Structure 1
Amino acid sequence: MSHAAPSRLRLSTALALSAKAEDRRRHQRVGVALLGRYMLSDRKEYPCQTVDISPGGVRIVCAVPGELGERTVIYLEHLGRIEGTIARLMPDGFAVAISATPHKREKIASQLTWLANRASLGLPEDRRHERVVPHQAAVTLRLESGREIPARIVDVSLSGAAIACDADLPLDAAVVVGRTPCKVVRQFKGGLAVEFRLPLSPDRFDENLVL
Structure 2
Amino acid sequence: MHDEYGRLDRRKIKIAARGAQERRRHARVPLQLHGRLWSEAGGEHACRLIDISPGGARIVSRMRMVDGTRVVLMVTSIGRIEGQIVRQAGDEISIRFNAPLRKRDKLADAITWRFNKDRLGLDEDRTAPRKPGRGRAKILLSDGVVIQANVVDVSVTGAAFECLERPRVGEALRVGEMSGRVARILDNGFAVVFDPPEADASGHEAA
* Bigger-Rg structure (1/2): 1
- Using the size of structure 1 for normalisation, the TM-score is 0.47
**TM-score normalised to structure 2 length:** 0.47
